[in-house]
Amino acid sequence: MSTATLNYPKPQKPWRPKQRDLVPTYLGVIATLLGTWALVEFTGLAGKLGAFGAAVLCTTVVSTFLAGRSRGKQAAKNAAVASLITSLALLAMFPVISILGTVLVRGTKGLYTGFFTTDMGLASVNDPLNVGGILHAIVGTFLMIVIATVISVPLGISTAIYLTEIRGPGSRLIRFLVQAMSGVPSIVAGLFIYSAIITGSGRGFNGLWGALALAILMLPTVARTAEEVLLLIAEDLREAGLALGATQWRTVAMVVVPAAKSGLITAMILGIARIAGETAPLLFTTGGGDATNLNPVDGVMGSIPFAIWKALISGSAESNARAWASILVLLVLVMILFFSARRLGKARR
């Protein structure tokens, strides 16, 4: 036994191609590069998209030929479909990477440490880039997100529990309305708050009204995601709880919701990511102030999307740079939210 243990072979992956078998692949890569170069050089294909198209064409042709030569017609078809699908996936990535790249390049120019600690209350749009910042916008966005979350998460999760656990009267109608609500254009949410509250009550713009408009947008996202998460919980678990003599309330509270916890947190973060970049509902509701305002029920309140809009339409080179820097801050914020949603979704599984 012990001698056999010493002679164990190393783990191998014989299904991976060997160096020797890869020679045609290397030649294929060279042929693809040459072919792409030739197509771009000698035909009408031009620009980044033209080069991409030429590369897709050459990759598909070469990989199909190689697979067909070594393993026959079916393998050739398989290779053709595989390279086309890979190309389409890359094409879908193209705008995303392009946007991220542009924002990163342009946004970093407007950044300095004071950008996060000062506001535009005393700075004007033509001031140099080391004066003023978006503290007021970060504070406003943060406060409004917190308020909108506090309002829409309990409502959304309660709706989801009603739809999946209680399944009471009107479930289908409610499900339909929630789905319809997620299609409401964001500016309509702003207009609703404006006409229902601001013109009605005569009270001026403030952060709370902005947060209410955001909550209207966030609610269907939270409710629908939470419903899907709760539907994934196996029926066995509910039956196991009920079979121990528990009431439905105890089963939902102690078995179903804890089992779906990480998914419900994901629902919340997806909802936040949905509203973090919204501009339209804030136009008619917050007033978009330039000074830092910590009181959501009194006075105008800034937000990052509003600050971007304001800086962009003011037109000076400095405020343009400030707008790009704000876009970068907002993108990083949303990306942090998405990554934490994924981490929380994976944890405790």
Partner 1 sequence: MTDNVKPSSLASIAAGNANRVPGKNALGTGLEARSVHAWFGKNHALANVSLDFAAGTVTALIGPSGCGKSTFIRTLNRMHEFIPTAAMAGEVLLDGRDIYASGVDVTKIRLKIGMVFQKPNPFPSMTIGENVLSGLKLAQLKQSNKEELMEECLVRAGLWNEVKDRLGAHGGSLSGGQQQRLCIARSLAVNPQVLLMDEPCSALDPGSTLRIEETIRELSETMTIIIVTHNMQQAARISDYTAFFLADGHPGMMIETGPTSQIFSNPKDKRTENYVTGRFG
Instruction: Report how many residues bind partner 1 under the rule CB under 8 A.
Output: 18
For residue 181, how far is the Cα from the chain centroid?
Answer: 19
- Report, in Å, the least distance between residue 325 CB and partner 1: 41
Among 2, 3, 6, 8, binds partner 1 (CB under 8 A): 8
> Which of residues 23, 25, 69, 74 is near partner 1 by CB under 8 A?
74
Residue 17 interacts with partner 1 (CB under 8 A): yes or no: yes
When asked if residue 70 is in the footprint of partner 1 (CB under 8 A), the reply is: yes
Q: Which is nearer to partner 1, 15 or 42 (CB)?
A: 15
60 token code pair: 């598909």
Asked if 2 interacts with partner 1 (CB under 8 A), we say no
What sign has the CA pseudo-torsion 107, 111, 117, 119?
A: negative
Q: Which stretch binds partner 1 (CB under 8 A): 1-9, 167-175, 265-273, 295-303?
A: 1-9
Shortest CB 23 distance to partner 1, Å: 12
> CB within 8 A of 94, min separation 6: which ones?
52
Inter-residue contact 247 to 332 (CB < 8 Å): no
Length of the chain: 349
- Which of 2, 3, 6, 18 touches partner 1 (CB under 8 A)? 18
Q: Which of 33, 40, 75, 80 binds partner 1 (CB under 8 A)?
A: 75
Tell me whether residue 9 or residue 44 sits nearer to partner 1 (CB atom): 9
- Binding status of residue 183 toward partner 1 by CB under 8 A: no
- Phi and psi at residue 132, to the nearest 5°: 80, 165
Of positions 26, 43, 71, 258, contacts partner 1 by CB under 8 A: 71
Cβ contacts of 133 within 8 Å, gap of 6 or more: 114, 115, 116, 117, 118, 119, 120
| Piece of the chain touching partner 1 by CB under 8 A; list 11-19, 224-232, 255-263, 285-293 | 11-19
The single residue among 13, 48, 167, 349 that binds partner 1, judged by CB under 8 A, is 13
Confirm if 143 and 211 have CB atoms less than 8 A apart.
yes
Q: Which of 2, 3, 6, 12 binds partner 1 (CB under 8 A)?
A: 12
Q: Does 42 bind partner 1 (CB under 8 A)?
A: no
Per CB under 8 A, 14 contacts partner 1 = yes
d(CA 170, CA 148): 26
Q: Which of 320, 307, 306, 324 is nearest to 102 (CA)?
A: 324
DSSP 3-state of 301: strand
Q: Is 170 in the site for partner 1 (CB under 8 A)?
A: no
> Is 113 an interacting residue with respect to partner 1 (CB under 8 A)?
no
Options 28-36, 72-80, 104-112, 306-314: segment touching partner 1 (CB under 8 A) = 72-80
Which of 66-74, 227-235, 242-250, 328-336 is the region at the interface with partner 1 (rule: CB under 8 A)?
Answer: 66-74
Q: Which of 138, 143, 146 is nearest to 116 (CA)?
A: 138
3-state SS class at 11 = coil
15 scored as a contact of partner 1 (CB under 8 A): yes
Closest among 106, 123, 101 to 310, alpha carbons compared: 123
What is the spatial distance between Cα 44 and Cα 307, in angstroms, rounded to a whole number? 43
Residue 202 falls in which region: left (phi positive, over 0), alpha (psi -120 to 50) or beta = left
Q: Figure out which of the listed residues 3, 11, 95, 349 binds partner 1, where binding follows CB under 8 A.
A: 11
Closest CA to 166 of 117, 105, 230: 230
Using CB under 8 A, list all residues that contact partner 1.
4, 8-15, 17-18, 20-21, 70-72, 74-75
